[in-house]
């Protein structure tokens, strides 16, 4: 991530954290701009360029009432919502066909001893990411600002694999999710280690439409185990593919955002960013 882009995301993240703490008071443009030490004019321009909407509109998207409103609209099951809304428009993330292939026990058991993993670092609207792939597909996407720490975390997952810092077609297809030209996307292939239960949960996440939210309980019902909300939460927390498997679209039944592996401020940012595009 370039220095300037990193500064911009830092300011936006700081602004979103301020909004999350003060949304009940509906802070003004001047209030939020002052919190990030920018003039209202400069902040308005920077934020609008980043999010595609004004700060005022963005506040509405990530407020508690917005989350509750989305949940009230989803009276049917998660699968019903997916059938009604998903896989119909070439311009939305949830329309992508994502093919998940589970790693064999042998591929994972020995720390990826037989795997060749290629990786690269890239910028996203939500900070720097590391993207890694095997010859079968994407095995890891994570928001990480420190490249050295990011690579060390990846190597802890697959300590015996061979690593090459190079971008391949799998990674390019995955990175296109942050761009507006969705026509350039091919089928996205994932190659991940999971239990059958985790796979069910992650496949359910892929059916949540962009700009919509659901709850842990709804996910549990959608996979046929309504009492497994806690286990669902654990599986979501272990999601190895940031953003593409959209665990950020799952919140608590109270309307609170809940936790997020890559930080609640980033979760708020992603929810608002997606909603601003659906709302255009």
At 54, list the tokens.
Answer: 């004004």
Eight-state DSSP code of residue 231? H
Nearest alpha-carbon partner for 271 in 25, 20, 90, 30: 20
Please tell me which residue in 120, 139, 193, 247 is annotated as part of the active site: 247
CA distance 10 to 38: 13
Q: 223-228 contacts: CB < 8 A, separation 24 or more?
A: 223/197
> Cβ(207)–Cβ(77) under 8 Å?
no
| Amino acid 240: pLDDT | 94
Reduced to 3 states, what is the DSSP secondary structure of residue 63? coil
| Amino acid 35: pLDDT | 92
CA 261 to chain centre: 10
Q: Give residue-wise pLDDT tens across range 221-261.
A: 989 888 888 999 999 999 999 998 999 999 988 878 888 99
Residues in the chain: 280
Degrees to nearest 5, angle at CA 273 with 91 and 212: 70
CA distance 102 to 162: 19
Q: Give residue-wise pLDDT tens across range 102-156.
A: 787 777 777 788 889 999 999 888 889 999 999 999 999 999 989 999 999 999 9
Helix (H) or strand (E) holding 101: strand 98-102
> Cβ(117)–Cβ(132) under 8 Å?
yes
Half-sphere exposure of 164 (CA within 13 A, CB side): 11
Residue 83 pLDDT greater than 50, yes or no: no
Reduced to 3 states, what is the DSSP secondary structure of residue 250? strand
| Amino acid 168: pLDDT | 94
**Residue 139 bears catalytic tag:** no
Q: Residue for token digits 């654990």?
A: 234
| Amino acid 185: pLDDT | 53
| Amino acid 68: pLDDT | 63
- 76 vs 168, higher pLDDT: 168
Reduced to 3 states, what is the DSSP secondary structure of residue 246? coil
CA 126 to chain centre: 9
- 13 vs 280, higher pLDDT: 13
Which domains are seen in the chain, by residue range? Answer: 3-61 (1.10.10), 69-278 (1.10.10.10)
Residue 270 pLDDT greater than 80, yes or no: yes
- 278 vs 197, higher pLDDT: 197
Degrees to nearest 5, angle at CA 86 with 80 and 90: 170
| Amino acid 88: pLDDT | 38
Q: Give residue-wise pLDDT tens across range 12-69.
A: 888 888 888 887 777 889 999 999 999 999 999 998 888 777 888 887 777 766 666 6
Sign of the CA dihedral 110, 113, 118, 119? positive
CA distance 91 to 73: 22
Q: Give residue-wise pLDDT tens across range 150-202.
A: 999 999 999 999 999 999 999 998 888 776 544 555 578 899 988 889 999 99
| Amino acid 150: pLDDT | 96
> Cβ(229)–Cβ(217) under 8 Å?
yes
CA distance 30 to 53: 16
| Amino acid 89: pLDDT | 37
């Amino acid at each position: 991530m370039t220095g300037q882009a990193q500064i911009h995301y830092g300011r936006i993240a700081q602004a979103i954290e301020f909004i999350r703490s003060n949304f009940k008071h509906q802070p003004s443009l001047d209030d939020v701009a002052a919190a990030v030490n920018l003039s209202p004019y400069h902040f308005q321009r920077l934020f609008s360029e980043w999010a595609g909407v004004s700060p005022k509109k963005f506040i509405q998207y990530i407020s508690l009432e917005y989350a509750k409103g989305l949940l009230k609209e989803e009276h049917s099951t998660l699968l019903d919502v997916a059938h009604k809304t998903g896989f119909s428009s070439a311009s939305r993330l949830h329309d992508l066909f994502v093919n998940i292939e589970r790693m064999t026990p042998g591929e994972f058991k020995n720390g990826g001893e037989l795997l060749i993993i290629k990786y690269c670092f890239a910028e996203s609207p939500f900070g720097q990411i590391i993207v890694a792939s095997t010859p079968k597909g994407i095995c890891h996407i994570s928001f990480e600002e420190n490249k050295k720490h990011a690579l060390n975390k990846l190597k802890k997952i697959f300590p015996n694999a061979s690593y090459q810092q190079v971008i391949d077609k799998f990674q390019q297809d995955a990175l296109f999710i942050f761009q507006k030209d969705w026509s350039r996307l091919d089928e996205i292939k994932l190659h991940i280690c999971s239990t059958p239960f985790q796979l069910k949960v992650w496949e359910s996440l892929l059916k949540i439409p962009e700009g919509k939210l659901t709850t842990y309980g709804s996910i549990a019902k959608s996979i046929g185990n309504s009492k497994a909300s806690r286990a669902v939460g654990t599986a979501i927390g272990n999601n190895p593919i940031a953003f593409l498997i959209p665990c950020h679209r799952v919140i608590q039944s109270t309307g609170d955002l809940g936790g997020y592996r890559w930080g609640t401020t980033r979760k708020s940012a992603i929810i608002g960013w997606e909603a601003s595009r659906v709302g255009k």
